[in-house]
Each structure stands twice: as C-alpha cells, then as structure tokens.
Structure 1
C-alpha cells in the first residue's frame, strides 16, 4: 500500500457517490469511508425525535438539519481523520450543497477547518443532468425530483465548492464522469490510491 491518502469526495445527489465508494471498499478493504450524510443522519436522529432515517433527512433537509448540527459532525470528522490518516486511506463522502424548497443551501467547512482536514486530493463525481434525473426517478432515496436546469446548477455549485477548497490548499481537484463504464471508473479511482 502507498502512503495513506485522505480523499475528499463530493458531487451532487445521484452523481454515484455512495455506489462508487461501496465498490471501492470492496476492492480496497483497508479503505475507511466517512459517509457524511449517514453520520449527519445519526447525529440528527439522536438529537431530534421524528427523523426516520437518511431518506427522511434528505426529504426534510434544512427543516431538520441546523448549521450547528453540521458543525458538530465536522468536528467528529476531523477527529476521525486525525486518528486514521497515518494508517489507512480515508475517503470522505460529503456534499455541502443541498437542494431546498427555496433553492439551494451551502453549508461548507470553513477554510480553517478544511486546512485542518488536509486532504491529499479532492474528487468531484458528476453525471449529466439527463442521467441525474433518470437516477433520481429510478431510486429517489428521499431526494427531491429536480429539473435538468436544477440538476446542472447543483452540480456546478458542488464543483465550485470543491474548487474553492482546492484553491485554499493548493490541492488538485479531479472531476470524474460517472456515466463512464462502472469498472473503468472504479479502476481509475482505485489506481489513484494503490
């Protein structure tokens, strides 16, 4: 194994983050994945009665997730990365841009926090707006249905956050099209680790 890397992975909903990280974990058993949405869901469920799970959290989003919830989960993430960065590859699956009934909300790391996270690389997964709509239609998982224009805007906003993070650290940002053949995509990502 190479020197362990910390990878910050992001992308708009239905970009393929969860399925891609699962497949990577099958190929790299020592890969530790911090799935931000799942951790945030657990945090909110412990704190707030009436949140039934991640699909419910996605559907209700800003109605139940407060900025202080995000800040607390951010601190837990920083502690996790500090603990594991020298022994394992760590992949952080996160998306600070959420689609809300009024438009979009961005709850990013502060640049100071992102500097403490110190990722080695930033990866953005994306799909075309048409593919995004097809994926949400096939399995919404609590995600709201969006228009092609909204899907495109969400992807661009997510990429702009990643680019800002990259510029703040002088860290390379890689963008991967998840409409590529799945095995080809997974091979390319795994090769960046091994």
Structure 2
C-alpha cells in the first residue's frame, strides 16, 4: 500500500531542491510538484505560464478555479497511489505573499480526508536564511521584508498543524537552514521512507 507524504513550507525553505533529490534517490518515490501542475493548468487557460510568472504575479494570475483543478487531480492521483507500493511526496504550500498581504488556498476538510496523508513535514527557516536564498536565486520570487517572511513561515506552520489535526497524520517541523544533505537525511528519517537496495 502506498504512503502519502505531504511536504510544505514557505518559499525558499528548499522544498523543490529536496524533492528533486528524492526523485533521483529511488524509483519508489513519486513527486507531485504542485507549482508545476498549477503552471500547466493556468497555461491552458491564459497561454504559457512559467513558475517564475506565478511567483511574480501570484493572485493576479492564479484563480481559485485553477487551484481547484489541481486539487482534484492530486486527490485522484493519491487515490490510485494508495493501491500501489512506494511513496507519493506532495510538494505544496497553501500560503502566498500578495500585494495586499497573504492569501491562503487550503484544502477543504473533505479533500484532506480523501488525500489522507500519512505524514506531514513542514520546512522552516529564519528570515535571514530565506532572504539570502532568495537573493542568490530569485526565480521570480519577490524579496519580502524579514517580518513578512517570519509571518509567512508561521502561517504555513499553522496550516500544517491544522492539516495534521484534521487527518491524524504524523507532523514534523524540520529545520531547513541546515545543509541540503542534512535536510534530506532528516526528511528520510521523519517520513520513514525505506529505500530498498534494488532501487535506482
């Protein structure tokens, strides 16, 4: 039976880097990158959209309907996955910084129960670490104020807590200011991903 692992955290906490390493680690691990799927759905509506475009324009570009379509695809994929062996790692975050403040596009209660994650991992880091990372590789991300980044991390952690309370999933807050190797090792430990010797 497949295991569902929900990975979340504010931008620049290293979710994409982590999932890229996970995908390379074993063919037992399937990664659903929410932003990539959202770019695909939004592109079908308005023309070609990159992840950088989404980071720059966010709520000006992405509608609740776009989010709903990706949500539905994810739930369908998770339902199929539960009948297979391996691990489905979902890379997503519900909170975005907007010109007006913050926007939250969370899963509904029914969707959470359909998704039924086994483990939730929320990456966090201090504002200065996030600022350094955004400056080094903006990738379309605006550079928020330290107070905004602190609030963003806090809000994303709150969403992770609510998801765990609602589903009963194990919840871990993982320090993402560590090196990439340490973050990967910590994630494998808390998510209890067991890699067989025959995996690629």
Question: Which residue, 39, 42, 56 being the options, matches 1:41?
Answer: 39
Equivalent residue runs for 1:22-101 within 5 Å:
22-49=20-47, 51-87=48-84, 88-101=86-99
**Deviations, residues 72-117 of structure 1 (Å, cap 9, x unaligned):** 1100001111112232200000001000011100001101101110
Tell whether the 8 Å contact from 1:31 to 1:91 is kept in structure 2 after alignment: yes
Question: Which residue, 105, 115, 118 being the options, matches 2:116?
Answer: 118
Counterpart of 2:159 in structure 1 is: 161
Aligned partners of 1:130 and 1:59: how far apart in 2?
21
TM-score by length of 1: 0.94
77-86 or 90-99: bigger deviation:
77-86
Aligned partners of 1:146 and 1:55: how far apart in 2?
16
Aligned partners of 1:132 and 1:21: how far apart in 2?
18
Counterpart of 1:104 in structure 2 is: 102
Report deviation, 1:187.
1.8
What are structure 1's unaligned runs of at least 5 residues?
A: none
* Aligned-residue CA RMSD (Å): 1.2
What are structure 2's unaligned runs of at least 5 residues?
A: 195-200
Report deviation, 1:184.
2.3
Report deviation, 1:171.
1.8
Secondary structure of 2:172's aligned partner:
strand
Tell whether the 8 Å contact from 1:9 to 1:94 is kept in structure 2 after alignment: yes
Secondary structure of 2:12's aligned partner:
coil
Paired residues in the alignment total 191
Aligned partners of 1:86 and 1:132: how far apart in 2?
38
Aligned partners of 1:70 and 1:18: how far apart in 2?
19
**Deviations, residues 41-60 of structure 1 (Å, cap 9, x unaligned):** 100001113x5311011111
Tell whether the 8 Å contact from 1:27 to 1:190 is kept in structure 2 after alignment: no
Secondary structure of 1:141's aligned partner:
coil
Counterpart of 1:193 in structure 2 is: 193
Secondary structure of 2:141's aligned partner:
coil
Tell whether the 8 Å contact from 2:121 to 2:173 is kept in structure 1 after alignment: yes
Aligned partners of 1:85 and 1:143: how far apart in 2?
34
53-62 or 21-30: bigger deviation:
21-30
